[in-house]
Amino acid sequence: MSSRDWIIFVLSATGLLALQILVLNNLNLNQYMYPQVYIIALMTLPINVKHWLSYLIAFALGFVVDTFSYTPGLHSFAAVFVMFLRYSYFNSFVDKEWLSTGIRPGFGNTETVWLLAYTGIFTFVFHFVLLVLEEFSLNHFGSTLLKIGYSTLLAILLILLLLFTTSRQSTNDL
């Protein structure tokens, strides 16, 4: 990524963190909806970013949300875990030629069906890990599953809306 792309990434990640911390964490939708949309910054990192750098970015974003949400380590762990699964997913299910291009997943760069599956899988995994660790008990597993389901659905809708509104028509900006 060029320095211009890193500046854009830092600004967009800062905006997403502000949206998450100042707005979404303070919304009282109901007891089952806790959407985490800041993971869009992790999901739209270029495919060929170094592993250690993506883990560091994931930890930093999770740490900031942990700091303001009083959840010590939960967001950091879930974000790093999603980045680990992201690379396993890319190495298993994505064409090797496509991996070397360094594109950023989004509406302007990838097929819509692939993007919907990618967003759905990783949003679900993130919410599953986060909310199971937060509950850390099987006493109310049914309500935890409802939280995971509703939070995932709302987060997917918000993420797709954000991706659609911020998508670029040109794919050769990188």
Query: Tens digits of per-residue pLDDT, 15-67?
Result: 999 998 998 888 877 778 888 899 999 988 888 888 899 999 999 999 999 99
Yes or no: say if 6 and 41 are a contact pair by the CB < 8 Å rule.
no
- Determine the structural domain holding residue 46 and report its residue range: 3-166
The pLDDT value recorded for residue 168 is 61
Does the residue 106 lie in any domain? yes
Does the residue 27 lie in any domain? yes
Does the residue 117 lie in any domain? yes
3-state secondary structure of 158: helix
Does the residue 35 lie in any domain? yes
The reply to whether the predicted model has a pTM over 0.85 is yes
How does residue 169 score in pLDDT terms, banded at 50, 70 and 90? low
Does the residue 124 lie in any domain? yes
Number of folded domains in the chain? 1
Query: Tens digits of per-residue pLDDT, 96-140?
Result: 777 677 777 777 777 888 888 889 999 999 999 999 998 887 788
> Cα dihedral sign for 89, 91, 97, 103?
positive
Yes or no: say if 65 and 38 are a contact pair by the CB < 8 Å rule.
yes
Q: What is the 8-class DSSP label of residue 103? A: P
Does the residue 174 lie in any domain? no
Non-local (6+) Cβ contacts of 110 within 8 A are 103, 118
Tell me what the mean pLDDT of segment 1-14 comes to: 85
Please check the confidence at residue 11 and state whether its pLDDT lies above 50: yes
- Closest by CA to 76, choosing from 66, 56, 62, is 62
